[in-house]
Structure 1
């Protein structure tokens, strides 16, 4: 009986590890300027990211185009929304830039402990890439 339970536990653990490796984007990431940290998670079949830490936690969303939202804190904002996994990339989502108050189309490509996050307008050729580093 003990052997059966150990086998079941080992199988569940290996499934958990396998599931994690299928979603390398899930986890905590630090932006290149080291001013912010984003936690990426999955809700249903979509991926989202929340700005869970910023250097200045009192900073407000003063550049938001919606005046009603300008008094909210930037820390805690969901800035990555509605990504779908397509092969090795995550696309079809948007990224909100609290520094400018603008929202851009976005795609993310994990590369080991790095995450290339490309925000763009229209086509991805017209954009900018930021590289996040996985927090261990």
Structure 2
């Protein structure tokens, strides 16, 4: 009996340890030229802009309250949705629109997809851990 319980605990701890961690700082890139744009810090279920790359306009004219992008929450309500996957909401400061988000962690890469309705019809970016 003790061995069965110990084996179960070891298996569960291995599964938990192998799950990729979404928390941390992530660099996103421009869709057109591939240059760095901003650094987003994800902590728990939210992600906020903590910095912008050199040459990137730090202002957010499309936001409800115009001002700096730094400090703005652009990801929220992130909830696990399978192994290394999360669902939530994402705000695009450039367009001012909010979308459903599907996020997949793969090592030091984060695939972030924003969509309305069907996930496969959305737009995806790959962010890198910094």
State TM-score, norm by structure 1.
Answer: 0.72
Distance in 1 (alpha carbons) for counterparts of 2:26 and 2:42: 8
> In structure 1, what is the equivalent of residue 27 of structure 2?
30
Gaps of 5+ in 1: 1-14
The change in CA–CA distance for 1:117 and 1:102 in structure 2 (over 3 A counts) is same
> In structure 2, what is the equivalent of residue 48 of structure 1?
46
Aligned residues: 110
Aligned 1:1-136 pairs, distance under 5 A:
22=19, 24-32=21-29, 33-42=35-44, 47-55=45-53, 59-64=58-63, 66=64, 69-70=65-66, 72-88=67-83, 89-91=85-87, 93-135=88-130
Gaps of 5+ in 2: 1-12, 30-34
Contact 1:40 1:50 in 2 (8 A): yes
Runs of 4+ in structure 1 displaced over 3 angstroms?
18-23
For the aligned residue pairs, the C-alpha RMSD in angstroms reads: 2.2
Q: CA deviation at 1:31?
A: 0.7
Contact 2:20 2:105 in 1 (8 A): no
